[in-house]
Amino acid sequence: MDSETYIAKTSVLTPHKISLLVLLSIYFETAIEDELLETLLFFLIEKISNEHRFPEPTLREFCDEIHRKTCPLPKVCTEIQRECKSSLEQALLTHLASMESPHDLIELVKDSKKLTNEENDPPLGKYSILGIFVRRCYIESEKLMFDDISRLYNAFVKYKTDKIVMFSKKGKENMDFYYKSGEFSSILSEVSHRYHMCKQDLIAKCDAESFSHYIITQLRKYGGILPPELESKLRVIHKRMPEISTIYYIDYVNCMQSGEYEGALTNFYKYSNFCPEDVENRNWYQYVLLNLVVLHAKFGHKEQALLAIREAIEMARENNDQECLRFALSWLYRLKSNEPTTTKRVDATDQQMLDSLISKAKQSNFIYLQSLGELGNSQRQIQQGASPTDVFESLLRSSILNMNCPFKTMRFQGQLLNASVWQIYGNVALSALYSSEVIGHSDTSPEDLVTAYCQMADLHVSYGNYEQALKLLEESKEKFLGIRRAALQWVVCLEKVLYQRDERASIEALEVQLRGSCQDDEVLHDDFNYNRALYLARIDRPDEAMNLLYELIQKSSRLGSQNQMLVANYYLKLAEIRIDTEDPTSALPYVLSALCISERFHHQSCYFMAKIRLAQILLHFNLAARAKIMIENIMPVILAEHTLRMQSVGHFIYAQCLLGCITLDVKAQREQSIPWNDVLIPLRRAQTGIIMFLLGIRKFDYVYNSLFFSLI
């Protein structure tokens, strides 16, 4: 090929070719005279056809040549300055400085390709020197892989930086072009020197990867959301080096914590696509499926999670990956255990699956899976109403395994389950002890931490320590900012405290926010509706409160044996509403239902409160002696292990029972069997507890005074 028709055709796209394409775009986009067009055209043809092209000129050398070619022509320089509002050199630098990402490079090449593709009279002929050059650049850009595009952009940044910084120092008084030099230098000047990012114009890929891994470590350790400074620095790194897959993982974690499903799914797919070195590595793919299961499960998409877990199990079996298979089975059990269980056959199948998981984990010595299986076994035993001995044996085995388990999350989940179990069985002190263990540890995840804080706040409320509960919630609120699920759980707990304190203005403000936020989370939505039912009952709207409780009972009943303890609480609350509306006869079926369910599932708190309410109903039927015996049988346990509220209500109902016995003696005209002083003792104890508990002082004072005057 002759030198006149030689086309510069290096095998790859280079920063110098990018500069030539920029000059081409300036040439076609600027309305100038024919003389100027001819000068620029010859300059471009000369540079494109130059066979002495190696090494390619730097940007500074290229700009010097532009300056030499254009300055001898005063008319040319004047025209370019008038049209571009700067010299050709400055116009080139301005355009280069505006290209801030690999995407901008590719868009420039695509826009240049359009110059040869227009249907009617294209500006460039396909077989002209300029047309061939543009089409070669387009083909070279299409052949670039993802990593090649990143390397091209890094070379392009290095190519343009020195010249742009030099021009930026001249100031705006000499030219219209201005570029912020700090954008390319000291990008991560505030990051630790350990990553060698201080006072550097360019960031080494290994340093950027170390920085992103460090952020992931901090996210796993402390949770929360990234500060704006770190977020902006990550965005700069992502623009410069989009092949670093850990940045997608950081975005995935942020979206998971903030509750953005689409963002989490998108970044998860990007991270999964860039991680494996071997695209055909099917072992990697099955672990991707496991993580996809976790994502779907976190957002409540059980059907998608089950599809992914079944595919992961099939692949693990094909590849004989026992570890992956154990994890897949454990997640399958988790998902299946949350489904409605209406038949004994399904229950038996799930129990078989759980036993198989535990036995295979023991054979393979997977401590994590053994502990997970024991925790699942404990939860299932609680749901099925197993004896407390069996439940605690399983919890003890899990605790022993967690001592040697490298995953601290399992240890914290075991402690939280212990706290819940002891609260169910009525030992408040041990429940508080386990919750405090989780709160006091520095490595607790935000999800476990908010559960522990809410458990502690509930315990404070049960003893009437509202100030302590609110103080605890106030101290902890900053730890859950940006983490949607944890923040919602925290707000629901705060709402419960405000409901019981009857702070109506604050409750109404919270309800507006929570009503929409809890729609996607069934557990939090049920908690919200239960709190609202309590509030409606407090403000004398019993019909609305009962309708909400009926809906919750129907929903929980569809889940089989899983939520029966909640159902017992709902029945008990219905009974209390009926008693408050002076209809104890209608309350009797609800009390008996709560009593049977709580006894079946060893829910002591609900069981003893149902006993107290049953004694209160017996008083209505003039069975004071029987009610008195019932209260006397349970009061020692209540005084030793249960909450201040239950103790106060028990003392109050016991005083009513004693007063009922005296009334029956008076009506029967027989000798009074109970001294008046014996009635005043439990009554005063009840008054002290209820005043501390803030259960409506005015209402209690009215009841107390009426009883006191009836004694006189």
For the ranges 67-71, 279-283, 704-708, the maximum mean pLDDT occurs at 67-71
Percent of the chain with pLDDT over 70: 67
pLDDT score of 325 more than 70: yes
**pLDDT level of residue 511 (50, 70, 90 thresholds):** low
Closest CA to 462 of 429, 506, 440: 429
The reply to whether the predicted model has a pTM over 0.85 is: no
Q: Rounded to an integer, what distance in angstroms lies between the CA atom of residue 153 and that of residue 14?
A: 9
Instruction: Read off the pLDDT of residues 609-641 as tens digits, 9 standing for 90 and up.
Output: 999 999 989 988 888 889 999 999 998 888 877
Q: Spell out the SS3 assignment of 119-163.
A: CCCCCCCCCCHHHHHHHHHHHHHHCCCHHHHHHHHHHHHHHHHHH
**pLDDT level of residue 686 (50, 70, 90 thresholds):** confident
pLDDT score of 185 more than 50: no
Instruction: Measure the CA angle with vertex 532, ends 531 and 537; round to 5°.
Output: 100
**pLDDT level of residue 58 (50, 70, 90 thresholds):** confident
Instruction: Measure the CA angle with vertex 603, ends 599 and 606; round to 5°.
Output: 90
pLDDT score of 367 more than 80: no
The two tokens of residue 651 are: 């003392």
Asked if 447 and 459 count as a contact pair (C-beta separation under 8 A), the reply is: no
Closest CA to 307 of 295, 321, 319, 317: 295
**Least confidently predicted of 58-62, 174-178, 259-263, 649-653:** 174-178
Q: Is the peptide bond before 15 cis (omega within 30 degrees of 0)?
A: no
Q: Rounded to an integer, what distance in angstroms lies between the CA atom of residue 263 and that of residue 268?
A: 8
Q: Rounded to an integer, what distance in angstroms lies between the CA atom of residue 128 and that of residue 7?
A: 10
